[in-house]
Chain A
């Protein structure tokens, strides 16, 4: 009996045919790969771009019979995807992709930030899949992206550590703002054009955004400290609108509220930022008002804005 899957049962020509088929299919995989690469690098159609990136994200180029010695990692396709996406929205010059000299690996810099930050994607190995956008020197993962699940999540902890703490003394606030805006725009295109579920987290400038703080049952002392700090800086922390929590008017149009969002049951303290144009996020507050930044950082254990707990733990 001849079993095609068992080489020992095959005739010599049968074996050769099998071998040939395996190589053909390996080469076809390679061809498919080059087409997708062409598509990823050259297309001017955003739909095609997303399609190419999504397929390349978990593309297996090697097969048992055909292997390719020079390969970029899947993470690099995400980087290409990101810069191409920005390019299609006329923001191509806001990022710079660099390839390493001696091996196939891509890194990226945000143009305003220059060499003070070098970024790449790191593939998540758990079954969640997806990738983390990482600053290489500090290891901070600024956001998580999953093309298959159409998910995008910013990470409040990493954004704070990198931009509000690490780069605070060396990089002007405007530069930080411009750099972060590139990431926000990238996420926005995915949300608006492809219906991605995006958590902008501390970067969300919408007025209705409630930033949940880590200590859901916030100790009263934390708010007291803001009250004292505000007074020293000629601002006044007032009672919240409904007598629940506190409010501080920072500028003509910028009001920060801190209050318990659950009047009954388990407390859930949150921050909100209101401004007429809905352009100011909690992150902007941290950049603009040194005493708010100091307060946030001094009480970070209690105040850190919660990121998606399923992704960042």
Chain B
């Protein structure tokens, strides 16, 4: 008897557990069928929903039901992306998204030439996963703005002055050629000087000095010989850096146009989940779908 009872209650418990899952899934299904994205989001992460939207700290037991749909996240993400990207289009008009595989989205910053791949959009969690390197460059260039500098200003200046020096080296070839002729004359004179014992070291020193100068000039000649190529390479480096500065400038301008400054932009990113879900709530409460 007891065994049977135990058996029965075990069955009840399991039935209930299965019922909970079925209930979860059918609620989710109904939400999708009714296009109720807000409820889909609530079902996907109830803890977060209650914390950020309901602002209740009610410690609801974690039911792990959301794990049921873990392996269909790509489809869920694909489904939810329609409305989310619509919304983002208004708030972040400078971001462009590309669904590179079902439910996964690359973020591109801007529509200018060679715009940067800026990270991924996590649709299910309503979150930007920005590329760290790219994001830091942008952050840094906002910081540098206060000093009226661009990210690559210093580097470009350094390379430019390097090129200028190389150009001077090339221009001074005839001056060096004259110097070399003179020094060789001096070397000749030096070697013809009578080598009295008391003069020997003086003459040797003099000779060493001339040889040193000639070596120095030969070094410069060699640099000048390669200068043309080096300047061209520097031009290419400067182009890459100016291009990056230009892109960063467009990015900064876009952020200023939409958010006034970088801090507001970051604040918006922080509250994106809450802002988006509240906008969905607003829509359903308003009853009328605004299509602005």
Which residues in A have some Cβ–Cβ distance to B below 8 Å? 221, 223-228, 231, 236-239, 246
Contacts and interface: CB of A to CB of B under 8 A. Distances in A.
A231 B250 contact: yes
Interface in B233-247: 236, 239-240, 242-243, 246
Q: Which applies to chain B's interface (DSSP): helix, strand, loop or mixed? A: helix
B113 A238 contact: yes
B239 A228 contact: yes
Contacts of A239: 111-115
19 contacts: A221-B239, A224-B113, A225-B239, A226-B113, A227-B112, A227-B113, A227-B243, A227-B246, A228-B239, A228-B242, A228-B243, A228-B246, A231-B246, A238-B111, A238-B112, A239-B111, A239-B112, A239-B113, A239-B115
A231 B150 CA distance: 14
Contacts, number: 35
A259 B127 CA distance: 35
B246 to A, nearest CB: 4
Most chain-A CB neighbours within 10 Å: which of B112, B113, B243, B250?
B113
Contact of A227 (B111, B114, B236): B114
A309 B115 CA distance: 37
B160 interface: no
A237 B112 contact: yes
A223 B115 CA distance: 13
Contacts of B243: 224, 227-228
A264 B71 CA distance: 37
B249 interface: yes
A239 B243 CA distance: 14
Contacts of A224: 113-114, 239-240, 243
A236 to B, nearest CB: 6
Contacts of B250: 231, 236
A236 B246 CA distance: 10
Contacts of A231: 246, 249-250
Interface in B57-95: none
Contacts of A237: 112-113
A155 B205 CA distance: 67
